Structures are given as C-alpha cells and as structure tokens.
Amino acid sequence: MKTVVVTSNPRADLKIVDRFATLGVATTHEASGRAPNLMKAYMRPVWPGASIAGTVVTALTQPGDNWMIHVAAEQCRAGDVLVVACTTDNTDGMFGDLLATSLKARGVRGLVIDAGVRDAAVLREMGFPVWSRAISARGTVKSTLGSINVPIVCAGVAVRPGDIVVADDDGVVVVPAADIAETLAAADKRQANEAGKREKLAAGVLGLDLYDMRPALEKAGLRYVEKLGDA
C-alpha cells in the first residue's frame, strides 16, 4: 500500500458547499439520482441536530491506530470535513476531544469516521459534529502509516479529496467533485417541487392522487377487495 500524504488536494467553492448544508442529506441523495453515494446506516451522529457540508479531506488508517489522523489535521483547513476510513472493521476510539479541539481551531466543520470516537459528552458540549460507526473509549497506538488525501472507501462509499460531504441526522452522503453542479441544480428543482406538495398533503390530498399513481397501480394488477377471502 502506498503510504503518502497528498498536499495539494482540491477544494470546492464554499458558497456552493454551504448550500448543500441547507439542502441536507436526503435531498442531496435524491438530487444525485439515488446514486450509490450514501454511507451505510450504521454511521450515526454522536449528538443529534447538526447539519453540515464541507470539502472532503481523506485519511486511511490502520485498526487501533490513529496516527494518520494527526497527520491529516495539518492538511485540513476552514470549510473541510475530515473523512476517515480504516483498512478493516474497527470500533476503537480513534478520535476524542483533543483532536476535535485541534480540528476546530483550523475551521474544520466536522468528522466522518468509519471507526469509533470517544469523549462523546465533550464533543456535544464543544458543538463539534461527528458521525461515526461507534462510540468507544478504546485507546489507540501511533505506529503504522496510512495515507492522506488518497481515494478511500468509507462506510461503503467511494470518497475522493475534493468531493463534498453532507451530514445530518439522516446520515452521510458524498457528492463527487465532477457532479456538484448537476446535483445542486437537481436539488434546487426538487426542493421547489416538494414545497407545494407538502401543503397539499397537509390538506389531505393523497399521494396516490398528487403523484397520479392510480393508473400505474391498476396496470400493475393491484386489486381492491372488501375482505381477504375475496382476493
């Protein structure tokens, strides 16, 4: 495995990044055409209520070893989100309040890590947003190299430095750098579209009618019967 730190990672325009934070995970995912860009559902916020977006800085670590997170910190700057993968399934507490203090000092918006974190209560108090696979106080060593800003797979999703990552209570989604403009346009369109729908649904209009589903259901063969015996 190449063990390198790539220092010239590209950044997305922060004005665009900020719009994704407003859109949130579900809308961004839908706007990407339900691409396979959504991390697995075991990735949960350490504390609820945060909604962030940022440019991806990646770190690839070894199990039980958080050395590369220290290396990654130097490559992060304001507007970034650090996305950490591990070479194997691991829940050790690779990240805690000291590293959070360091990242926060650099303007990093949050952490997404397919491993464990600790100091959960302090992270909540600090307001530093973290999405992780587990909460665990298990200590880690600093002895084996990994890589920074190489392509990784994190919680089932391929992630590259310079991509945009969006995270909220629904989970974590990644927008590849090449798809940012297209996804944003689709998201805007979708949001405009949904606003009116919500009012109609609140007024009692059924989705069956709002989305004109009845003909397709009938064509698919759906039958309405009064009792099960009638089926």
Of these, 15, 34, 192, 212, which contacts a second copy (CB under 8 A)? 34
Q: Report the site for a second copy in 202-221 (rule: CB under 8 A).
A: 202-204, 206-208, 211, 213, 216-217, 220-221
Asked if 185 interacts with a second copy (CB under 8 A), we say: no
Considering beta carbons, is residue 15 or 101 the nearer one to a second copy? 101
Decide: 60 and 147 in contact? Cβ < 8 Å.
yes
Considering beta carbons, is residue 13 or 74 the nearer one to a second copy? 74
Considering beta carbons, is residue 15 or 203 the nearer one to a second copy? 203
Residues in the interface with a second copy (CB under 8 A) total 104
* CA atoms within 13 Å, Cβ hemisphere of 90: 23
DSSP conformational letter for 229: G
Of these, 13, 22, 41, 189, which contacts a second copy (CB under 8 A)? 41
Asked if 195 interacts with a second copy (CB under 8 A), we say: no
Q: Report the site for a second copy in 108-127 (rule: CB under 8 A).
A: 116, 118-121
Decide: 91 and 136 in contact? Cβ < 8 Å.
yes
Considering beta carbons, is residue 15 or 226 the nearer one to a second copy? 226
Give the integer Cα–Cα distance in Å for 186 and 176.
14
Considering beta carbons, is residue 15 or 199 the nearer one to a second copy? 199
Mark residue 20 as left, alpha or beta (left: phi above 0; alpha: psi -120 to 50; beta: remaining).
alpha
Quote the least distance from Cβ 16 to a second copy, whole Å: 20
Q: Report the site for a second copy in 127-166 (rule: CB under 8 A).
A: 134-139, 141-145, 149-153, 156-158
Strands 80-86, 52-61: pairing kind: parallel
Give the integer Cα–Cα distance in Å for 231 and 228.
5
Give the integer Cα–Cα distance in Å for 175 and 87.
22
Residue span 58-87 as binding mask against a second copy, x where in contact by CB under 8 A, dash where not: --x-xxxx-x--xx-xx----------x-x
Nearest-CA neighbor of 170 among 53, 34, 44, 52? 44
Tokens of 124: 């909540």
